[in-house]
Each structure stands twice: as structure tokens, then as C-alpha cells.
Structure 1
Amino acid sequence: MLKLTPYLFFSGRCEEALEYYRKCFNGVVLTKQYFRDAPQLIEGGNPDWIMHAELEAFGLKIMMSDGVNAKELQGNNIALSLVVEDSHTQNQLFEYFCDGGRVMMPLNDTFWGARFGKVEDKFGIRWMLHCEELS
């Protein structure tokens, strides 16, 4: 089973957008982490910007970030976050999206306890592949 979630980027306005959409949908903020919360400095990440936030309302989940200046904010402000159940499926999808595309972040185990990677496919769609099964 795959679960697809919109992931929106706001280039320094995520805090404002998160509150706007929370009110709009009468939702609940599930997660809000700043770049300063990461265990090490993330290149291109402003410490005062939101690294990751999640909003839930009416069964809908929206993920948001201010993004990393150097990588996320060139051209569009949306990515698709795909949660997969196993690393085998994650590897297959990542390799498929890489064909004619570009790797933004290789698949790796992360400090938040998941295996994660980002890739832009040949059509310019950014995919964020998330798997709880660590390698």
C-alpha cells in the first residue's frame, strides 16, 4: 500500500501558511520542526524557518516546509510525499524516478527514524520517498 501526501514549500512563509490552512480547514497541527531542531546544520536551511510541519483536517494530511534555499525553491513549491511500506519498493520507485531525472537527496536513514530520499523526475515532479523500515 502506498500513501500519497501533498508537500508544500513556502520560502520563509511556512509559519504563516500553516496557521492560514489550520484556520481554513479547522485543522490540527500534528508536527512543527524548525531547521534549528536538527542535530546538525542543514545546508541551505535557515534556522528560523520550518523544516517540516504536518496539518490534518477531515482525514486530509498536508505536509509543509519553508524548504532549503539551494534545492527546493527553484521553479515550483510542491512535492509529492510518498510513504511506502518497505525499502524494496522504495528503492524501485527511487530508481525509476531517477531515470532521466535528478537526485535531490539520496536514500538514507535519517535522524527522525525513517529511510528517506528526494528525487525530481524527468517531468519536474519532486518525489519525497519515506519508509519507516530502516536499511
Structure 2
Amino acid sequence: MYNLTPYLFFAGRCEEALDFYSVCFGGVVVTKQHFKDAPQVIEGADPNWVMHAEFEAFGMKLMLSDGVVAKELKGNNVALSLVLDSLDEQSKLFDKLSLDGRVMMPLADTFWGARFGKVEDKFGVRWMLHCNIA
């Protein structure tokens, strides 16, 4: 099973975007973590920027972040976050999407209890593959 969620990047304006979408849609911020809250320093990240946020309204779910560095966002501030339920399927899909593309972050176990990786496919679409570790 796959669940696809748009992931939006704001290069330092994520807090502002969360406030804006809350007013527009009347939704709620379900979770919000800043880079300074991570258990290790994340190179290139402003510690006061939003590392990850989730927003929900009317059955819609968005994930948002300031991203690590602004140059990563130039002209491409959307990624597709794909949540999978199989580590094997995650690896296969990551390899397929990487073909003639660019691995932005290799698949690795994370501090939030998932294996995660990020790839830009050969068409410039960014994919974030997330699978909880059982």
C-alpha cells in the first residue's frame, strides 16, 4: 500500500505558510518540529527553521518544511512524500526512481523510527520515500 502526500518547501517561510494555510482552510497544524529539535546537528540547516510540519483540513493533508538549504529549493519547492509499508518495496522503488536521476539522500534509518531517502528522478520530480521500521 502506498500513501502519497504533497510535501511543500518554503526556504525560511514555513511558519508564515502554516499561519496562512490555517487562515485559508481553517485547518490545524498536527505536528511541527524545528531543526534545533533534532538529536544531531543537520548540516546546512538553520536551527530555527521548520524541519517538518503536518497540516490537515477538510480531509486534505500537507507536509511542509523550510528545507535544508535555499539553493535546493530554487525553482522546485514541491516533493512527493510516499509512505510505504514494505522495506523491500521501498528499496526497489528507490532504485528505480534513481535510475538516470540524482540521489539526494540515500535510504537510511532515522531518529524518528523510519527508513527514509530522497531522490530526484530523471524528470526533476523529487520523491521522499518513508517506511516505518517494525
TM-score in terms of structure 2 length: 0.96
> Distance between the aligned counterparts of 1:121 and 1:42, measured in 2?
24
Alpha-carbon contact 1:44-1:70 (below 8 Å) kept: no
Q: How far apart in 1 are the matches of 2:69 and 2:102?
A: 17
Cα deviation code 1:6-62 (max 9, x no counterpart)? 000000000000111112111111110000000111011100100000001111110
Aligned to 1:68: 68
Mapping of 1:1-135 within 5 angstroms? 1-69=1-69, 72-133=72-133
Percent identity over paired residues: 69
Q: Is the 8 A contact 1:117 1:130 kept in 2?
A: yes
Report deviation, 1:112.
0.6
CA distance in 2, matches of 1:92, 1:70: 30
Once superposed, which parts of structure 1, at least 4 consecutive aligned residues long, lie more than 6 Å away?
none
Does the 8 A contact of 1:9 with 1:72 survive in 2? Answer: no
Which structure 2 residue ranges, 5 or more long, are not aligned?
Answer: none
Deviation of 1:130 after TM superposition, in Å, equals: 0.4
In structure 1, give the amino acid aligned to 2:56: E
Partners of 2:5 and 2:103 in 1: CA distance? 20
Q: TM-score, normalised by structure 1?
A: 0.95
Count matched residues. Answer: 134
Cα 1:71–1:116 change in 2 (3 A) is farther
CA RMSD for the aligned pairs?
Answer: 1.2
Instruction: Tell me, yes or no, if the aligned pair for 2:25 and 2:57 is still in contact at 8 Å.
Output: yes
Q: 1:39 to 1:94 in 2, by over 3 A?
A: same
Residue type of the alignment partner of 1:82: L
Q: Partners in 2 of 1:133 and 1:67 — Cα distance?
A: 24
Given that 1:71 and 1:104 are in contact with CA atoms closer than 8 Å, whether structure 2 keeps it comes out as no
CA shift digits 1:77-117 (9 cap, x unpaired): 00000000110110111000100001000101100111100
Residue segments in structure 1 that go unaligned for 5+ positions in a row: none
